[in-house]
A and B are shown apart, each in its own frame.
Chain A
């Protein structure tokens, strides 16, 4: 049985385009153009993954509302924000509400597909017992490639998919400088410099929340970042 993806998007053309792409990948797709019909449908049955636009017609923050509502009902339901709003503030708000990823509409369809696939893969991996072989350990950090989770000093660090891929790219070869383009490719996203800067900043903050002395990500001025392994 194919995975069911719900798309809540008020722009019909985009909605249909995404739907076509998802269907081509074998997913079944449910389309909603506003919060209310979506909520009614979700009350009846939750989909396997939800792609939400923040701005839903006149409902400016409708996507956030929807996300909060869904998260309260299903803690492990993958939720992706796909929006035209690229401000840092919106991204932080969206992720705080429990979204698994916050994507701007710049993202190409193949990249989007990769992310969706990754999310489903993670969901599947979560249900399987943890496999040692999928883990990489570099000093204090431990990456679980299958589940796409990170542990620092054996404490979990909650990263989004993009953040995980960036940490993965850095920590895999400690000491190597990864430039912005490389990080962008790793995260499978078209990101500008500032967005990468904000991502790195957010990642650091998440690690610092676990370990106040965290300093493993070093900025190499003018070049990029590298993972320091002690």
Chain B
């Protein structure tokens, strides 16, 4: 992983910033919410206290069987008695259902002023009317019918039969005690539907007692007594729970914007309700101002709560939330909700209402956290913006910084690498003046390179200097030996001097080989460049090699006889001599040594290849340096200067020399610019 990626990864740590911010906002919100709960609990307690004055309004103090209880929904408008539910001011979810013969039967009972309203939707595959002319009031006729059963804790007092002769308005039959009569105070409408029929009725409220039940009878024919579906299971219908106007008015007194009050009886039926928790200012801009982006942010960043819709008053009329259930069991409890769509939270408190030592009901307070919301909204928006900017800035800066850093390091590394490429060591490295660690690195690189350069220079001049320094003492030796020749010597002594002379001559050869490189350099400086035919020079030279090394097979191939180059032919041939010498040294007797010349418009390529051991890889680049030899011990008197001289000559002619292993040997290549290709 490179530096830039590493730093980018590190910069991701700055994402902790928004996270911490969010944590903070969550904490703040939760603390504010707790505070609001406390406050709300206090209010709820006060209201519960005040409600304890009205124990009678809470109809029951103990509930035995809740299954058959019906609830009279308070209606905000009077529905038209036309057999349809759509003009009822309560949602369809408020409809209760019970099992019927041909499908579920849904129904609702509403209360508006002094009237009670009934709506029943019955699934009936075959509707059996009482038929025209039948005396439904007097006789028991088998037909589809709806019966409203009312009474008190102990007995059934009245039954109201809704029997239809045909779709449309009908007259209900009132059966109270033994009396049976058409009840004119009840307005009813029977409407057939595709799946059955719908019945809507209005009746004076006082006709209904404290208990109420609904019975639907479904017959298949006039002879069939039919099957009863009932809203209650026992002998008596369930309690009829309904709102209390008194409590309603009391509760309305406590209502304030953003606060919802609900009073329920012990069964959880709503006895009174006032206010709305959803918002304090109905038309604040919050709803419009919340973008999808913010919504996403809410859902991702804020502490999730229960869905706020659950906090709404239950459409069935009976509150069943957990915290309310707790309160119904005489334990005050709180809860909170959050809207998924706008992040709004609602804090809810349920407080039992006591009458003396007996619990009569529950008061529920719900308050929207609008104040918190707007605070949080702003905070969140700002936090998001700031942290986004901060994070981006940090990432950008770190990225830029790391790019710059890695650029510097890469430059330094490239420079350090290329510093050794050339003949001369270049010790000027980038960032040398920088005051940081990279600067230090650059400077220490420079100093290492400088030392290396000095060492290289020393090595390069070592041969020449050594030969120069040794020449004088050698002269002393040789001249002394030569003088000794003229002295009378015993045969023994003559042998020794002869050997000493031999050694001296060999030393001399070594010395002149050592100074050859500097001679070549000198020659090159003074050489007059002339244009000559490389092909001719090469062929005649290679022909001469045949005589010089009779135990090798020299071949000369050339793809063009017309290759002119500018330079010193003597030096070029000397270079060739060195390569030929090298090839001979590394090959075995009778090995073919091939010298090839090829050319294009720019350069001429001379390849000298011979079979032999491959070049070791580590030596490949140093091969052409001074005093470097890849030879094994044994063949002494080789100083590793031949290829160095070849390189000097090639480079002196603006060419290059390289060595490579080929299939079964070694190939040396010299590339020289052809005449006229160089603009000088």
Contacts and interface: CB of A to CB of B under 8 A. Distances in A.
B480 A17 contact: yes
A9 to B, nearest CB: 10
A72 to B, nearest CB: 28
Contacts of B528: 201
Q: Which of the listed residues B508, B544, B569 has the most CB atoms from chain A within 10 Å of its own CB?
A: B544
B80 interface: no
Contacts of B541: 221-222
A28 interface: no
Listed from nearest, the 10 A-B pairs whose CB atoms lie closest are A222-B541, A222-B544, A17-B479, A105-B475, A109-B482, A84-B471, A194-B519, A13-B476, A221-B540, A221-B537
B389 interface: no
A10 to B, nearest CB: 10
B544 A223 contact: yes
A14 B479 CA distance: 7
Given A87-B518, A197-B570, A222-B541, A11 B482 contact: no
B543 A222 contact: yes
Interface of B: 468, 471-472, 474-476, 478-480, 482-483, 486, 508, 512, 515-516, 518-520, 522-523, 526, 528, 536-538, 540-545, 569-571, 573-574, 576
Contacts of A87: 518-519, 522
B508 A106 contact: yes
Nearest to A88: B522
Interface string A44-75: 00000000000000000000000000000000
B472 A86 contact: no
B570 A88 contact: no
A219 B471 CA distance: 31
A37 interface: no
A222 B417 CA distance: 40
A24 B168 CA distance: 166
Given A13-B476, A109-B483, A88 B526 contact: yes
B416 to A, nearest CB: 36
Given A86-B519, A89-B522, A197-B570, A21 B471 contact: no
Contacts of B478: 108-109
24 contacts: A11-B472, A13-B476, A14-B472, A14-B475, A14-B476, A21-B486, A24-B483, A87-B522, A88-B519, A88-B526, A105-B472, A105-B474, A106-B471, A106-B508, A108-B482, A109-B482, A110-B482, A193-B574, A197-B570, A197-B574, A198-B523, A221-B544, A222-B541, A222-B543
Contacts of B571: 197
Interface string A152-193: 000000000000000000000000000000000000001011
A195 interface: yes
A117 interface: no
B540 A222 contact: yes
B482 A219 contact: no
Interface of A: 11, 13-14, 17-18, 20-21, 24, 84-89, 104-106, 108-110, 190, 192-195, 197-198, 201, 219-223
A84 B522 contact: no
Contact of B483 (A21, A104, A195): A21
Contacts of B479: 14, 17-18, 21, 109
B468 A84 contact: yes
A110 B519 CA distance: 26
A221 B536 contact: yes
Contacts of A21: 479, 482-483, 486
A134 B355 CA distance: 162
B160 to A, nearest CB: 138
Given A11-B472, A110-B482, A221-B536, 15 more contacts: A14-B472, A24-B483, A24-B486, A84-B472, A87-B522, A105-B472, A106-B508, A108-B478, A194-B516, A194-B519, A194-B523, A198-B523, A201-B528, A221-B537, A223-B544
Nearest to A110: B482
Contact of B508 (A14, A20, A190, A193): A190
A192 B512 contact: yes
Contacts of A223: 540, 544
B574 A84 contact: no
A77 B528 CA distance: 33
A198 B478 CA distance: 25
A29 to B, nearest CB: 13
Contacts of A104: 471
A197 B471 CA distance: 22
A7 to B, nearest CB: 12
B468 A220 contact: no
A194 B475 contact: no
Contacts of B515: 86
Contacts of B570: 197, 219
A90 B574 CA distance: 23
B471 A105 contact: yes
Contacts of A85: 468
Contact of B476 (A17, A24, A108, A109): A17
A109 B478 CA distance: 9
Nearest to A191: B512
B521 to A, nearest CB: 10
A219 B569 contact: yes
Nearest to A17: B479
A21 B526 CA distance: 37
Nearest to A111: B482
Nearest to A85: B468
Contacts of B471: 84, 86, 104-106
A20 B482 CA distance: 10
A109 B485 CA distance: 11
Contacts of A11: 472, 475-476
Contacts of B544: 221-223
A17 B516 contact: no
A13 B476 CA distance: 6
A20 B508 CA distance: 22
A100 B252 CA distance: 138
B579 to A, nearest CB: 13
A84 B508 CA distance: 12
A101 to B, nearest CB: 17
B569 A20 contact: no
Contacts of B512: 106, 192
Contact of A194 (B476, B520, B543, B576): B520
B467 to A, nearest CB: 8
Contacts of B537: 221-222
Contacts of B518: 87
